[in-house]
Amino acid sequence: MTISRRTFLAGAAAAGAVLPIAAPSIARAQAKDFRLGIITPPGHPWNEAAIKVGEVLKKETNGRLSITVFPSGQLGNEAAMLQQMQSGALDMGWIMTAELGSRVPAIAAINAPWIVDSTAKVAKLVKTPVAMSLFDLLPRETGTIGLAWGITTMRVVFTAKPIEGIADLKGMKLRINTTPAYKDFYQLLGAAPTPIPTPQVFEAMSNGQVDGLEADLDFSWNQRFDKVSKTMLRMNAIFMPCVALVSGRVWQGLSAEDKALISSATKTALDAQVAETVVNEPVLIEKFKGTGISIKEAKIGDAETKAIIAEYDKIWVPKAPILTELRKVGATL
């Protein structure tokens, strides 16, 4: 005769013999420590936000849910982490649009130059319906679920020799992020994009392997690129956000309540990170000023800007039609 689990547990409870052992076992089965991979180093605003999400989950679930953050690419580069999330081997990853855009051209559209021209406008852009709609492409194309945007400041260029503006980048070997979106932009400016692994960037500037590099302000201060540069050029043209992702396979196994809690905690933490980035940008600029490095604003006329945008969009709008809508929205911010 087969005894159902419900009948067995009811009988065991009446006998007072099994439940004291079985209940903790069930509780342990429900507990989950999510592994979250991220490429940025400890102390970066994205890392701090990820840690905050884990703290909220732990508090709200009395320790049932938690997050362990693996920074600095400890679990592999972003391509490797995406692959791990696709298989369910990695629970979460905060991945930059450079990597996502190499797989989903529409995502790369947000890396186009001059969609917006300030960090404050970036903060507004990522909250718009058109920016949020990019997440809809992720499950099918990457096997992941997008929860929220994280941002950095507008990216700046550091150069080994003094320069005055964008025109001086012509002919320079610039270390750039490897995303095609950036490569096309800097080539239109006449620079020679040179991909170098992030850990080697400081040395590459020191030994003259490259003439300059581009990065956001937070990372640049963390790495102290001012020590190997004469000029910091504020481009006011491009930025590099990240997307907080959850493995689609992992997401399917979560309850509706846990999904809602994770979504809310992630959005709240990254909304705060976005706001703090806008507030902290002037602070970082002052820190760089204190080093004595020459800080220049990009000098480029409206006609020249429009010409570069037109050439850029000839390349990218056919691949990512949503770029047109992003530009329209960006112009209103």
Torsion angles phi and psi, residue 159, rounded to 5: -125, 150
Find the angle CA(57)-CA(61)-CA(64) to the nearest 5 degrees: 90
Q: pLDDT tens across 204-243, in order?
A: 999 999 999 999 999 899 899 999 999 999 999 999 999 9
Q: What is the pLDDT of residue 188?
A: 97
| φ, ψ of residue 263 in degrees (nearest 5) | -60, -45
Q: Kindly indicate the confidence band of residue 24, based on its pLDDT and cuts at 50, 70 and 90.
A: very low
State the pLDDT confidence band at 118, using cuts at 50, 70 and 90.
very high
Q: Is 263 exposed, middle or buried (0-12, 13-18, 19+ CB in 10 A)?
A: middle
Residue 23 has pLDDT above 70, yes or no: no
pLDDT band at residue 10 using 50, 70 and 90 as cut-offs:
very low
- CA 102/CA 326 separation, integer angstroms: 18
User: What's the pLDDT score for residue 17?
Assistant: 38
Q: Which residues pair with 67 in a beta bridge?
A: 34
156-239+286-330: what fold?
D-Maltodextrin-Binding Protein; domain 2 (3.40.190)
Q: Is the model's pLDDT at 46 over the cut of 50?
A: yes
Please report, rounded to a whole number, the percentage of residues in the chain having pLDDT higher than 70: 91
User: Residue type for 115, please?
Assistant: I
Q: Per-residue confidence at 170, pLDDT binned at 50, 70, 90?
A: very high
Tokens linked to 268: 């709240």
Q: Which residues contact 135 (CB under 8 A, 6 or more apart)?
A: 145, 146, 147, 243
pLDDT tens readout for residues 126-162: 999 999 999 999 999 999 999 999 999 999 999 999 9
Assign 41 a pLDDT band (cuts: 50, 70, 90): confident
Q: Which residue has the higher pLDDT, 15 or 115?
A: 115
Q: Which residues neighbour 77 within 8 Å (Cβ) at sequence distance 6 or greater?
A: 39
What tokens appear for 15 in the block?
């006998």
Contact 160, 232 (CB under 8 A): no
End-to-end CA distance of the chain: 71
Residues 6+ apart with CB under 8 A from 22: 9, 12
Sequence spans of domains, the chain = 32-151+241-280, 156-239+286-330
Q: Which residues contact 116 (CB under 8 A, 6 or more apart)?
A: 122, 124, 125, 239, 330, 333
**Please, which contacts does 25-34 make with residues 24 or more away whose CB atoms are closer than 8 Å?**
27/64, 30/64, 31/63, 31/64, 31/65, 32/64, 32/65, 32/66, 33/65, 33/66, 33/67, 33/68, 34/65, 34/66, 34/67, 34/68, 34/91, 34/92, 34/250
Could you write out the DSSP letters of every residue in 21-53?
HHHHHHHHHH-EEEEEEESSPTTSHHHHHHHHH
pLDDT at 311 (0 to 100)? 98
Q: Which residues pair with 156 in a beta bridge?
A: 215, 234
Which candidate, 155, 136, 156, 160, places its Cα nearest to that of 146?
A: 136
pTM of the model: 0.88
Are 235 and 176 spatial neighbours (Cβ–Cβ below 8 Å)? no
> Band of the pLDDT at 198, cuts 50, 70, 90?
confident
What pLDDT score does 18 carry? 37
Condensed to tens digits (0 to 9), the pLDDT of residues 122-136 reads 999 999 999 999 999
pLDDT score recorded for residue 238: 97
Residue range 61-79, pLDDT digits in tens: 999 999 999 999 999 999 9
CA distances from 188 to 37, 122, 235 (A): 34, 23, 14
- CATH of range 32-151+241-280; options 2.30.110.10, 3.90.650.10, 3.90.1150.10, 3.40.190.170: 3.40.190.170
Q: Give the per-residue pLDDT at 290.
A: 97
Same-fold call for 32-151+241-280 versus 156-239+286-330: yes
Average pLDDT estimate for 193-203: 89
pLDDT tens for each residue of 275-315: 999 999 999 999 999 999 999 999 888 899 999 999 999 99
